[in-house]
């Protein structure tokens, strides 16, 4: 008779991470699949739902905290990374996942993106990139193509799109991956790796907006698995990321920087000691 070790962790199913709130997204929105990837990843990690916090800003993608059965914070536009930083630094035992979009994360929240990468706090940053502002009905975002015509930018912006993965790498992100929402199992697997990886993990998910960018329905034909394994060499990663076609799916960089986490919770002196410096 063979005796196998018993896994004492409670078994979780993806459904255990779904809330009872019905998502409000357009039919066909890529974010439905991202939600599916979230719950699958959490179940694979067997994390108690009450120990996960999903933090977001404003936009279609930022609605996701309400749809998972975890703790959540749906804050103001563009500041989710900072709210998450204050939470994670003071409650390091929690698993913190930040959800954002290309407008929320790269435009109004752009500065925080740089500093979150640099700070390298152990959290996972998921940006659902659809190259458009969906919730405000179709204005150009930092990743919109220069010639894309909108009411706010007739004839296109003429501006070169922002390259989030390069910026993440240059700013010090410790894990960089690109996913496609139409592949929820593959995305879930990458999210599991991202959450496990120490430090700041950045996962860009190409998530089509079928309402304002019907052309993005074609992304499913363009995406392809990254041809080579992830590197821990930032120079190599930079070359690959800068020269790929933007549809290269997989983990592209795994760094080994130590995460930022000051010791918290343990006082080394009594409170009454603090006034000693004041005494004349």
Q: Are 59 and 212 in contact (CB under 8 A)?
A: no
Count the neighbouring beta carbons within 10 Å of the beta carbon of residue 8: 5
Q: Does 45 bind another protein (CB under 8 A)?
A: no
Q: Are 175 and 199 in contact (CB under 8 A)?
A: yes
Q: Does 11 bind another protein (CB under 8 A)?
A: no
SS3 call for 78 = coil
User: Can you tell me which of 34, 35, 41, 94 binds another protein, judged by CB under 8 A?
Assistant: 94
User: Can you tell me which of 4, 7, 11, 275 binds another protein, judged by CB under 8 A?
Assistant: 275
Distance of CA 154 to the CA centre of its chain: 31
For 143, phi then psi, to 5°, come to -105, 5
User: Can you tell me which of 23, 45, 75, 226 binds another protein, judged by CB under 8 A?
Assistant: 75
Q: Are 40 and 12 in contact (CB under 8 A)?
A: no
- Region binding another protein by CB under 8 A among candidate stretches 6-14, 27-35, 223-231, 269-277: 269-277
Residue 57 Cβ, how far from another protein at the closest point, in Å? 10
Q: Does 35 bind another protein (CB under 8 A)?
A: no
Residues 209-268 interacting with another protein (rule: CB under 8 A): 262-268
d(CA 133, CA 135): 6
Size, binding site for another protein by CB under 8 A: 52
Q: Does 93 bind another protein (CB under 8 A)?
A: yes
Q: Residue 237: CB partners within 8 Å, gap ≥ 6? A: 169, 176, 231, 252, 253
The angle, 0 to 180 degrees and rounded to 10, between the axes of the packed helices 80-90 and 110-119 is 30
Measured from the CB atom, the residue of 89 and 210 that comes closer to another protein is 89
Block residue for tokens 């940006």: 127
Interface characters, 109-128, with another protein (x: CB under 8 A)? --xx-xx-------------
Measured from the CB atom, the residue of 151 and 267 that comes closer to another protein is 267
User: Can you tell me which of 26, 36, 45, 89 binds another protein, judged by CB under 8 A?
Assistant: 89
Report the DSSP beta bridge partners of residue 201.
124, 175
* Residues binding another protein (CB under 8 A): 19, 21, 48-51, 53-55, 65-66, 69-76, 78-79, 82-91, 93-94, 111-112, 114-115, 262-269, 271, 273-275, 278-280
């Amino acid at each position: 008779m063979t005796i196998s070790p018993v896994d004492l962790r409670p078994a979780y199913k993806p459904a255990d991470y779904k809330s009872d709130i019905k998502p409000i997204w357009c039919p066909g929105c890529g974010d439905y699949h991202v939600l599916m990837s979230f719950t699958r990843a959490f179940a694979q990690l067997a994390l108690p739902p009450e120990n996960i916090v999903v933090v977001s800003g404003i936009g279609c993608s930022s609605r996701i905290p309400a749809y998972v059965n975890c703790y959540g914070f749906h804050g103001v536009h563009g500041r989710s990374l900072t709210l998450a930083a204050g939470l994670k630094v003071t409650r390091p035992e929690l698993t913190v996942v930040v959800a954002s979009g290309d407008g929320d994360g790269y435009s109004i929240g752009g500065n925080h993106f740089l500093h979150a990468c640099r700070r390298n706090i152990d959290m996972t940053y998921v940006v659902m990139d659809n190259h458009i502002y969906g919730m405000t009905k179709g204005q150009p975002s930092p990743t919109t193509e220069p010639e894309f015509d909108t009411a706010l930018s007739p004839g296109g912006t003429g501006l070169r799109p922002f390259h989030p993965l390069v910026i993440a790498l240059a700013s010090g992100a410790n894990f960089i991956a690109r996913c496609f929402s139409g592949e929820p199992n593959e995305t879930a697997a990458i999210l599991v790796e991202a959450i496990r990886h120490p430090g700041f993990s950045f996962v860009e998910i190409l998530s089509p907006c079928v309402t304002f960018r019907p052309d993005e329905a074609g992304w499913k034909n363009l995406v392809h698995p990254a041809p080579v394994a992830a590197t821990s060499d930032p120079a190599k990663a930079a070359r690959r990321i800068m020269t790929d076609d933007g549809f290269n799916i997989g983990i592209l960089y795994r760094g080994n920087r130590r995460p930022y986490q000051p010791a918290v919770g343990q006082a080394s002196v009594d409170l009454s000691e603090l006034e000693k410096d004041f005494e004349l």
